[in-house]
Amino acid sequence: MTNADIARVFEEIADLLEIKGADAFRVNSYRRVARTVGDLATDINEIAARGELGTLPGVGKATAAKIAELLTTGQLRMRQELAEEVPQAVLQLLEIPGLGPKKVALLFHDRHIASLADLKKALDTGGLEGLRGFGTKSVAQIRQGIAFLERSAGRTRLGVGWAIMQNLRNTLLGMEGVTRVEHAGSLRRGCETIGDLDLLCIAADGQRVVREFTRLPGVTQVLAAGHTKGSVLIEYQTGRTIQIDLRVAPRESFGAAWQYFTGSKEHNVRLRERAIKRGWSLNEYGLTAGERVIASQTEEEIYAALDLPCFPPELREDRGEFDLAEIPPNLLALEHIRGDLHMHTESSDGRCTIADLVTAAKKLGYQYICITDHSQSSTIANGLTPVRLKKLIADVRAVAAKTTGIAVLAGTEVDILADGKLDYSDKLLAELDFVIASIHSGMGKGSEENTRRTLAAIRNPYVNAIGHPTGRLIGRRKAMDLDIEAICKEAARTGTALEINASDWRLDLKDQHARLARELGAPLTVNTDAHDIDQLDEMIFGVLTARRAGLRKADVLNTWTAQRIGKFVQAKRP
C-alpha cells in the first residue's frame, strides 16, 4: 500500500468515528496520523522496514501496529468493524461541500440517509424538515454542494496530473528510439484541474512505442492502439483513473501538433479563423496553403506566420491574448522567485524543522524564507499560543544568526476570527518580520460577513498578506462567498498583498481573481504553504496560475529582495 492509501484509511476511520460520536481527541488523533503519512516524502513501506513507524509525529505504539497491519495484509480490522456499523456510502456524503461528519451523523442516525441517492430524495420530498441544523439556508447550500460535486467529477488536480506526467515522460524517454517527449493540453496551460493528459513524442518506431505505452504498469484499459496514437486509462490512486493520450508526431510537424494539442478549443478556433481569412488551413500537421507548407516545425513559426506573438501556453485560452501586441514583458517565471513567505514547521502542523527548510530553500537558490506557523485558534493544526510563538521567534532568530547565504524571517499565519479580530495582539505581531492572516473556519456565513472579516484583517497595520483568500479546496470545498473586488481595492489602498497559494489543493487566489487584483493595483505573493520539504516544489503550480493571470515579475512580492520586502512591511506599520 502507498502513503496515500494508508492516509485514506486513517482519514476514513476518523470520519467514521466522528459520525459514530466518538470524542474529539480520539478523532483528531487519527486525522493527525492521516495527515502525517499523507505528506511523507519517504515511502511508508521503507519507514516500516526500518522499524521507525513510531518515530512519526502522532504515531504511537498502537497506531504503528495498525499501519503495520495495513502494510502486511492490505486491510485493517478496526476499519472493517466500523464499516459494519456505518455503510461506505455514508462516507461519500462527506465529499459534499458544507457537509461535515456531525451533519452526516444527523442525517444517518435521525433520518436513515445512507447514500447520495437517499439525500437527493430527501431534499426533493422535504425529508429534512425539522432536522436540527438543516434550515432553509443549510438545505440550499447542500443542493449547491451536490451540484459542485457533480461538476467536479472526473477532473484531476493539476499537481496530480503533473506528477503522472513527469513519471510517464521519464518512462517514455527511456524507450528505444524516443528522442523527445512533451506534455500538452490543459496541463501545459496550467489549468487547476484536467480531464485527461496529452503527451506528444518523436520516435523512430511509433507503433512500437505505442505498444509499450499500452502495456505500462497501472494501465486498466486500452482505449486505442495504433501506429501513431495510444490511449489508455491508468489507475493513479485506488479507485481513481485518468485517461492518457499519447501521439507520435513527425519531427517536421511537431510544432504544429504541440500547438494544436495545447491551445484551448476557443483559442484554436480563433487561430484557424485567422488562417482561413488568408486562404490557408491549420491543423495538427501544419499551417498550409494548398500543398505548400507554410509552417509546421515549431510553434513560433505557426504564430509568426499568422502575425502573432507566440503566446505562452498559460495564455492560450481566448481571454484577451489576441488583443496583445506583444507578450507581457517579464511574465512571471519560476526563476524569478527569490523566496517563500508561507511555510510551516513541526512547531505547529509541519513535518520538518526550521533548519530543514533552510537547507531545502538554499538548494532551490532562494534568498529568503519566512516561517509562518499557525496561531492558537487553529487547534487541529497545533496552533501556537503567544508563549509558544515567542519561543518560535527566538528559535528562528537563533537559526538566522548562524545561517549564511539566506535570510530567515520570523512570521505567522494568524487566524482571522469571527469578529474580524486577529488571534494575536498587535504588540506581539509587531515582533514579526511578516504576517499572513487567513480564515480557517466559519466560511459559510455569506458574502457580507466573510468580506467584512477579510477587510478588517487587511486594515490591520501588521497584516502583510491575506493567505488563500477564498478558502477553497479544489474538488472538496467551494470558495467562500466574497466581494473579491472590494477586497482587491482595499488591499491596493492599504498595501496588503493577496496570496496565490501554490498548493495544488488550493491555487487560491485563482487565475481570474489574481488578474482582477493586478488590474486594481493590489500587490500579490505566490507561496507554497509548505508543511514538508517536498511541498516547496509546488511553487511551480502557483507560478502557472500567476502566468494565467498575466502577472509580471514586478507584481509579485517574493520576486523582490528581502530588503524591499522589509520596506514594504514597514510602510504599513504605524
Whole-prediction pTM: 0.80
1-86 matches 97-153 in fold: yes
- Cβ contact 530:343 at 8 Å: yes
Q: What distances in angstroms separate CA 147 from CA 67, 142, 471, 479, 509, one per listed residue?
A: 36, 9, 19, 14, 22
**Other CB atoms within 10 A of residue 388 CB:** 16
| Per-residue pLDDT reduced to its tens digit, 330-370 | 999 999 999 999 999 999 999 999 999 999 999 999 999 99
| Per-residue pLDDT reduced to its tens digit, 178-208 | 999 999 999 999 999 998 999 999 999 999 9
Give the whole-number percent of the chain exceeding pLDDT 70.
99
* Fold of the CATH domain 334-572: TIM Barrel (3.20.20)
What architecture (CATH level 2) is domain 253-323?
2-Layer Sandwich (3.30)
The SS3 of residue 43 is coil
Sign of CA dihedral 230, 236, 238, 239: negative
| DSSP letter (8 states) at residue 297 | S
Q: What are phi and psi of 3, to 5 degrees?
A: -55, -45
Domain 156-248, CATH homologous superfamily name and number: Beta Polymerase, domain 2 (3.30.460.10)
Grid cell locating 462: 501588521
Cell 499557525, residue located = 374
CA distance 533 to 530: 7
Paired strand residues for 343: 530
Q: What are phi and psi of 329, to 5 degrees?
A: -65, 140
| Per-residue pLDDT reduced to its tens digit, 417-459 | 999 999 999 999 999 999 999 999 999 888 999 999 999 999 9
| Per-residue pLDDT reduced to its tens digit, 246-290 | 999 999 999 999 999 999 999 999 999 999 999 999 999 999 999
CA distance 528 to 466: 14
Task: Specify the CATH number of the domain 1-86.
Answer: 1.10.150.110
Task: Specify the CATH number of the domain 97-153.
Answer: 1.10.150.20
Question: Judging by DSSP bridges, how do beta strands 229-237 and 219-225 pair with one another?
Answer: antiparallel
Domain ranges across the chain = 1-86, 97-153, 156-248, 253-323, 334-572
The SS3 of residue 54 is helix
Q: What is the pLDDT of residue 564?
A: 98
